[in-house]
């Protein structure tokens, strides 16, 4: 099945399909699906195919994978509209996140529809039309990231970028039976994003599987000086399912389903599934979370939305969707005193919420309390939209990360989903938990109900008492200096590659060694390496014995992780042979042995 990111990359590497063929297939599917409201603009097909054909490095983590981008995120040369034609502009450079996707081998297909200025959870507030929900076509597609979620669910692209300020990366995931990953704030750069609420925005990922979402997140994660809200927060490796998992659930009577018995039953069944998987359920008080959610639209944060479009509101108010205009104009009213009062209350609520997580690994909630038809939402646009945010509006205010997962198909044919929430920085931990739950449901993927792939094994990891070190040259398995690792009881974890940020040089040393130099992001090659785990004491002995011009620095891996590893002093490469094209020391030495 070449539908998931992992399967597409594997097919390209094995040459059973080419990146150009996969990109062409996406365009064919877009034409066949024939819903003009999904994409606001499509990239020229031949340009995209040509870019795919130019890819030459099969080690790239997203080698030839087509991706759709929500149209409030900049893609060079394509208009950014935020679903408002009067606001549109054409950026000359990619957003940071798009640049990182391209460097990882992804091919941008087009810009997707959204609730105008990312204001809404319904997907019906756009002059570009309402994307049809491919799972059940009378339901809203969810918003604001409507086009991105539908494009993934319908099989047009294997993953897509959304944004999430108040649930826009999670509610559409539930309504389209796909995965929605809402990362920790600041983990992905927002440089090149049209803001909704700058202090709360994050770029999110829609995909068919959790592993695909994490693979996409890994190449996008990382601090960025161009975004003042960016944080230097390493993603970390995919975590294994905990042996003693504790999940927080609201106290009896605290959940709200607005009379939707099927949603309530589906949530209860999801909790039973967690218990079958070995989780212990621990009750916590949801009321402080509800109070936080009320701050988002009843408090001064609406002023952030107003700030983005106040000039357009003043000059061309009719250019803005009526519902968006009604919500946003309220942002002109809060005073500075109102803002500080809300910030003080929020800080108190954050402390209360943080205590909830001392008793559990994560909390599990319905992604949304119910589902609504497009007709119902158009008739009652603000109230029903607000209901869909019952379990999402508080998340970014409390600085949590989230993972929305398909949980069931209801008897009425509507999807139901749950969301795992944890404190910021637990993204990989949530993925390790959530992937097991999703696989256990055996639900079909997206609207096409494709079979789930077998769950890949979690790679071996260093323990809490070990340090991971990346080796690229003579310390590789079977090479001249590997014994320096094995005599210190180091153990091999995995083979992987660096990000395309490095060049490799053959140094004039005995025994022969390479030197790996960090260059500008994306301007180098992906270099094969091995990750080894060793005790802290052994790591200290090993590092102390490293002779110049080599030293230990922080290596960025192709999947976004970081590890300590060998780098070379820049002065040492003068006159050294650039062997980056070999992709690694082992290939270079094998070629040299033939001479």
What is the spatial distance between Cα 72 and Cα 81, in angstroms, rounded to a whole number? 6
What is the spatial distance between Cα 474 and Cα 506, in angstroms, rounded to a whole number? 11
What count of other Cβ atoms lies within 10 Å of the Cβ of residue 490?
Answer: 23
Q: DSSP alpha helices (H): ranges in 409-502?
A: 427-441, 483-486
Query: Got the DSSP string for 476-510?
Result: STTSTTTHHHHTTT-EEEEEEEB-S-EEEEEES-S
What is the spatial distance between Cα 342 and Cα 534, in angstroms, rounded to a whole number? 48
Angstrom distances, CA of residue 443 to CA of 142, 151, 279, 432: 20, 19, 20, 18
Q: DSSP alpha helices (H): ranges in 316-396?
A: 322-329, 336-356, 374-379, 381-388
Examine the residue annotation and report whether 70 is marked as an active-site residue of this protein.
yes
Q: Is the link from the previous residue into 549 a cis peptide, with omega within 30 of 0?
A: yes
Sequence-ordered list of residues with C-beta below 8 angstroms from that of 322, at least 6 positions apart, any chain: none
Structure tokens at 508: 């004039």
Query: In what side-by-side order are the strands of the sheet with 528-535?
Result: 491-497, 528-535, 466-471, 562-568, 550-556
- Catalytic, out of 126, 146, 168, 189: 168
What is the spatial distance between Cα 84 and Cα 89, in angstroms, rounded to a whole number? 10
Tell me which residue of 397, 376, 400, 406 sits closest to 388, measured CA to CA. 376
User: Please, is 581 exposed, middle or buried when counting C-beta atoms within 10 Å of its C-beta (0-12, 13-18, 19+)?
Assistant: exposed
Quick check: 458 and 432 in contact, CB under 8 A? yes
DSSP state of 448: T
Q: How many helices (H) and strands (E) does the chain have?
A: 18, 19
Max alpha carbon distance in the chain (Å)?
A: 77
Structure tokens at 588: 């270079």
What is the spatial distance between Cα 289 and Cα 181, in angstroms, rounded to a whole number? 20
Q: At 237, phi and psi to the nearest 5?
A: -75, 160
Quick check: 221 and 235 in contact, CB under 8 A? yes
- Catalytic, out of 70, 111, 132, 503: 70
Quick check: 476 and 497 in contact, CB under 8 A? no
Sequence-ordered list of residues with C-beta below 8 angstroms from that of 25, at least 6 positions apart, any chain: none
DSSP state of 86: G
What is the spatial distance between Cα 153 and Cα 166, in angstroms, rounded to a whole number? 21
Structure tokens at 72: 């409030």
Task: State whether the Cα torsion 152-438-246-417 is positive or negative.
Answer: positive
- Catalytic, out of 126, 144, 145, 230: 144
Structure tokens at 331: 């942002």
DSSP state of 79: -
User: Please, is 347 exposed, middle or buried when counting C-beta atoms within 10 Å of its C-beta (0-12, 13-18, 19+)?
Assistant: exposed
Quick check: 117 and 82 in contact, CB under 8 A? yes
Give me the active site residues, please. 70, 144, 168
């Amino acid at each position: 099945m070449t539908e998931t990111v992992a399967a597409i990359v594997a097919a390209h590497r094995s040459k059973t399909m080419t990146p150009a063929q996969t990109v062409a297939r996406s365009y064919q599917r877009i034409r066949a699906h024939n819903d003009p409201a999904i994409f606001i603009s499509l990239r020229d097909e031949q340009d995209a195919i040509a870019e795919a054909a130019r890819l030459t490095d099969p080690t790239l983590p997203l080698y030839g994978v087509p991706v759709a981008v929500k149209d409030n995120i900049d893609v060079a040369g394509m208009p950014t509209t935020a679903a408002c034609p009067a606001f549109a502009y054409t950026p000359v450079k990619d957003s940071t996140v798009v640049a990182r996707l391209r460097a990882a081998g992804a091919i941008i297909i087009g810009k997707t529809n959204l609730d105008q200025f990312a204001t809404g959870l319904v997907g019906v507030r756009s002059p570009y039309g309402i994307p049809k929900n491919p799972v059940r076509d009378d339901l809203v597609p969810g918003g604001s990231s409507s086009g991105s979620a539908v494009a993934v669910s319908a099989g047009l692209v294997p993953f897509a970028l959304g944004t999430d300020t108040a649930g826009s990366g999670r509610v559409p995931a539930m309504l389209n039976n796909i995965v929605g990953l809402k990362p920790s704030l600041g983990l992905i750069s927002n440089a090149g994003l049209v803001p909704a609420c700058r202090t709360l925005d994050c770029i999110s990922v829609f995909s068919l599987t959790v592993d695909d979402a994490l693979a996409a997140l890994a190449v996008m994660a990382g601090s960025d000086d161009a975004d003042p809200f960016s944080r230097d927060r390493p993603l970390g490796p995919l975590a294994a399912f905990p042996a003693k998992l504790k999940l927080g659930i609201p106290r009896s009577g605290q959940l709200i389903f607005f009379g939707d018995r099927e949603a309530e039953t589906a949530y209860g069944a999801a909790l039973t599934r967690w218990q079958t998987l070995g989780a212990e359920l621990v009750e916590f008080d949801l009321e402080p979370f509800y109070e936080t959610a009320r701050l988002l639209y009843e408090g001064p944060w609406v002023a952030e939305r107003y700030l983005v479009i106040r000039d357009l509101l003043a000059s061309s108010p009719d250019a803005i969707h009526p519902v968006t205009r009604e919500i946003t104009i309220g942002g002109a009213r809060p005073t500075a005193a109102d803002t500080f009062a809300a910030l003080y209350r929020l800080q108190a609520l954050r402390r209360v919420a943080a205590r909830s997580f001392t008793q559990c690994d994560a909390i599990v909630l319905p992604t949304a309390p119910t589902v609504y038809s497009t007709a119902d939402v158009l008739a009652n646009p603000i109230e029903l939209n607000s209901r869909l945010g019952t379990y999402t509006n508080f998340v970014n205010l409390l600085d949590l990360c989230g993972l929305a997962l398909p949980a069931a198909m209801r008897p009425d044919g509507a999807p139901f989903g749950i969301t795992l929430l944890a404190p910021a920085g637990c993204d990989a931990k949530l993925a390790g938990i959530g992937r097991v739950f999703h696989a256990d449901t055996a639900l079909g993927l997206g609207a096409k109900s494709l079979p789930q792939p077998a769950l890949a094994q979690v790679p071996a990891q260093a323990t809490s008492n070990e340090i991971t070190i990346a080796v690229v040259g003579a310390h590789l398995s079977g090479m001249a200096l590997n014994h320096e690792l094995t005599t210190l009881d180091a153990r091999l974890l995995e083979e992987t590659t660096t990000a395309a940020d490095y060049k490799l040089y053959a140094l004039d040393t005995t025994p022969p060694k390479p030197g790996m130099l960090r260059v500008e992001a994306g301007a180098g090659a992906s270099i094969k390496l091995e990750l080894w785990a060793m005790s802290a004491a052994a790591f200290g002995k090993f590092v102390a014995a490293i002779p110049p011009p080599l030293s230990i620095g922080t290596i960025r891996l192709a999947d976004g992780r970081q590890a300590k590893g060998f780098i070379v002093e820049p002065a040492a490469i003068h006159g050294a042979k650039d062997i980056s094209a070999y992709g690694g020391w082992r290939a270079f030495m094998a070629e040299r042995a033939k001479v």
